[in-house]
């Protein structure tokens, strides 16, 4: 009997110990999880939009014609609903209302782009529009009056048509054209703007505009046009950077960078990190490596593969243009921050030539059928890819200061109850905060894309990325906040992520491993 009593006594204390340990462990996990929902001190939240997508007033006050004006007017069949950006959100006239929305949400900055042709109607600096300058000065002043920092992009895809008629981004004179434009922008707005972005996503407009009959300027010049466009875009960016650095930084003391489109990449065959890296180098690394790597120039894998393919196809030289040592040095280091646009991820695998692959990579990209869809065909919800790309940037470039300048998902514009978007933001931002706090990634700004539903390029107004709905059938372009606006107000107020379902404390409960959704809330 004594032995039985001793055993019961031992069991009792084992149970107490295990219970206490479990409670402590659970509490520690809960504290850690809670920490990954809270923004670090000083972290800034903002929202954005782009000139052609929101401004409208396409021919007001002497504005010149851009490639997107021409494209949508000439090829309306290439836009899903046959629409254009002639009026768009009419932000040219309603900018004060947009600023008020940003302030009501509590966001600290607003990212917008300038229309080159609104400032320089002829594309050249011989004619500077006073009305164009007045509009942007009024917008910047209105932001400052409301305690909101302007983040200004010089180029978001709307090249003056007169310059495109001379070859656009495939003409190396664009380096001088862009430099002239940049100098006027810095002169006029630099005293009031502390963050500039030169070019938004050169990967996108070079591939889609010069490699396919898909987007403006609607030229299928591959297999050479895409690379020639990218080559000149890097030179033009560097020219603008050095103009700012030499002529304006001493008095204006701002920051200037470029924005890279960096999708996430996940190996279709576990452990195939070589393919993951190759895909990265041909997408994000294409433009980031020349600026951020210690050696500069294009990624080695990119130079090697394009050269081999070119020679195999009968060319006498690589289709990827070659930078001189002088240009390599001129481009290297030309960014004060790493501008990141990220939306989704893909599965990648090596593929034989006869299978469809991304230009020259030898890689086939696909998606997991279990990844949740959005209203945009290419955008699947894969939160883990966001953390993955932030860690890749950290490791590739000695942990640069990252500004996330676009992140968001779309809806079909039929409801104000955008619950999927709320889930998307929650899961992606938790990945970002985890990458910052656990993995040491140097991310200091995050931009909601976008503030407003707007003209979504080839998709027209059939879908919307905005947290604010715009009625494009109403001449007044009435703005109506969606459910996500209320959620963002709470997030900004508390500096903490707020899940759609308060009982769900982990993004994996929403989307599972690598974004696999367990319950639909669309």
> What 3-state class would DSSP assign to 75?
coil
- pLDDT in the model for residue 499: 78
363 touches 278 (CB < 8 A): yes
In a domain, residue 4? The reply is no
- pLDDT in the model for residue 61: 86
CATH code for the domain in which residue 462 is found: 3.20.20.80
In a domain, residue 3? The reply is no
**CA-to-CA distance for 52 and 113, rounded, in angstroms?**
9
In a domain, residue 397? The reply is yes
In a domain, residue 40? The reply is no
Known catalytic residues are: 201, 406
State pLDDT tens for residues 133-152: 999 999 999 999 999 999 99
DSSP 8-class letter at 357:
-
3-state secondary structure 223-288: CCHHHHHHHHHHHHHHHHHHHHHHHHHHHHCCEEEEEEECCEEEECCCCCHHHHHHHHHHHHHHHH
DSSP 8-class letter at 112:
E
State pLDDT tens for residues 27-81: 334 555 789 999 999 999 999 999 999 999 999 989 999 999 999 999 999 999 9
Q: Please give the share of the chain, as a percent, with pLDDT higher than 70.
A: 89
State pLDDT tens for residues 437-496: 999 999 999 999 999 999 999 999 999 999 999 999 999 999 999 999 999 999 999 999
In a domain, residue 38? The reply is no
Rounded to 5°, the CA angle 361-364-369 comes to 150
- pLDDT in the model for residue 498: 83
Q: Output the six-digit token pair for 171.
A: 């003409």
Read out DSSP for 287-307? HHHHHHSSS-SS-HHHHHHHH
Average pLDDT over residues 364-381: 96
Q: Output the six-digit token pair for 465.
A: 């990325």
In a domain, residue 2? The reply is no
In a domain, residue 411? The reply is yes
For 85-94, 393-402, 466-475, 508-517, which range has the lowest pLDDT when averaged over its residues? 508-517
- pLDDT in the model for residue 16: 37
Overall domain count for the chain: 1
In a domain, residue 173? The reply is yes
Range of the domain at 277: 52-515
């Amino acid at each position: 009997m004594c032995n039985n009593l001793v055993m019961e006594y031992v069991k009792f204390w084992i149970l107490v110990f295990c219970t206490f340990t479990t409670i402590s462990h659970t509490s520690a996990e809960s504290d850690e999880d809670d920490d990954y929902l809270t923004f670090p001190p000083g972290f800034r939240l903002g929202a954005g939009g782009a000139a052609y997508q929101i401004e409208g007033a396409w021919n007001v006050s002497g504005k010149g014609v851009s490639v997107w004006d021409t494209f949508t007017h000439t090829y309306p069949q290439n836009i899903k609903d046959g629409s254009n950006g002639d009026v768009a959100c009419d932000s040219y006239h309603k900018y004060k209302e947009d600023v008020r929305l940003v302030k009501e949400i509590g966001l600290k900055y607003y990212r917008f782009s300038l229309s080159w042709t609104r400032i320089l109607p002829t594309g050249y600096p011989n004619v500077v529009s006073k009305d164009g300058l007045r509009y942007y000065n009024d917008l910047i002043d209105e932001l400052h009056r409301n305690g909101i920092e302007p983040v200004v992009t010089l180029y978001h895809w709307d090249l003056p048509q007169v310059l495109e008629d001379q070859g656009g981004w495939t003409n190396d004179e664009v380096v001088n054209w862009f430099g002239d434009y940049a100098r006027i922008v810095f002169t006029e707005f630099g005293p009031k703007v502390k963050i500039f972005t030169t070019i938004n996503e050169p990967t996108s407009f070079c591939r889609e505009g010069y490699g396919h009959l898909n987007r403006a300027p609607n030229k299928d010049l591959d297999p050479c046009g895409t690379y020639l466009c990218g080559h000149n875009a890097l030179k033009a960016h560097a020219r603008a950077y050095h103009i700012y650095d030499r002529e304006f930084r001493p008095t204006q003391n701002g920051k200037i960078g470029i924005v890279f489109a960096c999708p996430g990449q996940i190996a279709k065959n576990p452990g195939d990190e070589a393919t993951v890296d190759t895909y990265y180098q041909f997408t994000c690394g294409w433009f980031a490596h020349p600026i951020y790597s210690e050696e500069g120039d294009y990624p080695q894998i990119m130079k090697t593969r394009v050269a081999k393919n070119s020679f195999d196809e009968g060319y006498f030289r690589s289709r990827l243009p070659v930078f001189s040592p002088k240009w390599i040095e001129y481009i290297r280091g030309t960014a004060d921050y790493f501008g990141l646009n990220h939306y989704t991820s893909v599965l990648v695998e090596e593929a034989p030539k006869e299978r469809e692959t991304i230009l020259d990579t030898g890689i086939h990209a696909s998606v997991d059928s279990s990844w949740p869809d959005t209203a945009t065909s290419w955008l699947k919800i894969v939160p883990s890819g966001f953390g993955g790309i932030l860690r890749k940037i950290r490791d590739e470039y000695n942990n640069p200061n990252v500004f996330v300048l676009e992140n968001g998902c779309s809806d079909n514009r039929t409801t104000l109850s955008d619950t999927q978007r709320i889930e998307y933001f929650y899961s992606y931002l938790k990945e970002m905060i985890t990458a910052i706090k656990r993995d040491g990634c140097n991310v200091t700004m995050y931009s909601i894309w976008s503030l407003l539903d707007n003209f979504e390029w080839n998709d027209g107004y059939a879908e919307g990325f905005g947290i604010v709905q715009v009625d494009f059938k109403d001449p007044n372009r009435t703005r109506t906040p969606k459910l996500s606006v209320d959620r963002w107000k709470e997030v900004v107020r508390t500096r903490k992520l707020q899940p759609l379902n308060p009982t769900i404390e982990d993004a994996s409960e929403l989307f599972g491993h690598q974004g696999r959704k367990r319950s639909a809330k669309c």
